[in-house]
Structure 1
Amino acid sequence: MLHFIQKCSRASSKMLKYPFTVGLGVSRKIDILSLKTSLQQNSSPLFPRLWFFSSFPVCMSKTQCYHTSPCCFKKKQKQAILPARPPSTITYLPNSPKPALYISLAGLIPFVAPPLVMVITKTYIPILAFTQMAYGASFLSFLGGVRWGFTLPENSPAKPDFLNLANSTAPVLFSWYAFLICERLSEAIVMVIIGLGIALHVEFFLLPHYPNWFKALRIVVTLVAFFSFIITLLVKDAYPEKGPKRPGQVE
């Protein structure tokens, strides 16, 4: 290519030495001079290299803008929008006050002891099952009283309105109905389980004002009570009945 351009430049220089006519030669000479200058510029060995290096930063800047603006901006925007995941409620259990933690753990004994004794002895003892149900119903009444008392202080986040006070009496109604049908012990236990589940749902989703450590204690106590009642119902169907009759049981 360079050899061809050099030949063209030599031919143009020879044509400049022998012009043709005056009028025609002047215009032809001007055309030849413009052709020669353009060929000399294009035939310069530094021109392609300079053009390449002069256009290279522009291409790189465009490429960098293309690669950084849409993709990286979206990633940074997503990282800025996504909030930090809050810790789960159960992780606040070690932050509980020591008296509340120890008393709550000790309060699980009446839930765990009756089914544990029946599983060890491989017998269903109605009086133990009744005491477990009675303790669960009493615990429901205690939860209702806790909710009522939580609304009394002036600086409490839960106000003493109809919503809070009516929900505080709901566990008491389940407890009362469980004692009312205590002759059908299995149904009474199921009623206590339903009351515990509804109380936990109300306290967590409808009226979420309790401290996180108290919520963690409520989760632990409710789960332990739930599984203890399930074990008692399973023991009643799996093992034979033995021991003294529960109060009010029909012969």
Structure 2
Amino acid sequence: MRNVIGRYLDTIDALRLEERMLTHNTLILGEEGAGKTNLACKIRNFVIDNNVPTLYMDFANSHEDDVELRYKDEHFNYIRFEESEAFDEAFAALVAEKKHIYMAVNPNFFATKREKKSKLSQVISQQKLLDDYYYFFHDIENLNGFYTKFEDFLLYMLSFTNLQKQGFTFLAQPHPIFENPHLKLLFSFLYVGKCSNANYYNTAILKTLSKNHFYYQYRTAYPTLLFNDIKSSMVKIDEYVPEL
């Protein structure tokens, strides 16, 4: 079980992923080079080891040859989203067999109007996926206008926790949309890496963090009158080296 992913910097304890992360949502924020992909890969390995199928959406719309080597393990099944019958058939075959899926996606397929639900949102909200899959949303292109086409997807995310049985991990560079308190409530686990703007989550320490160092916040499993208590720690994530 690949559950040890790093260490706490304020104690001698190892940083371990726990089973409840499979059903709770994680947000990974940080500038380019902060180590977001490395951390997401650690979480993906943990989900795979728990026999939960994964759907990894790469919003950079990467060609298969450009996908990082760390994802090209025995569980790697690449597909590119298209509005076509050929895609529908290929995707349905992967889902039917509960294969791990790495899907390249162009964010332009999202709707730009609130009242219109895109084909992309319809595809990723299929009941079979919601029942079985752990999702990864890798928002690589947000500086190139991703959030101008985000309304359809945001509405989907806000209802996501009421539909799915597994959790999801969202990776992104910092953006004011994540300061929205309603959006924050979607996430039980939060990793914030190096950020050039110290206003994000009101912690100036984010300017000084080096690669694979994160400000880790999580809601405890013990309920209170309002919401579970939030604990915070500084952590260092181990670098993932693919097995050859």
Shorter-chain TM-score: which interval?
under 0.3
Larger RCO, structures 1/2 (Cα 8 Å, 6+ apart): 2
Q: Normalized against structure 1, the TM-score is what?
A: 0.21
- Tell which structure's C-alpha radius of gyration is larger: 1
Q: Normalized against structure 2, the TM-score is what?
A: 0.21
Higher helix share: 1
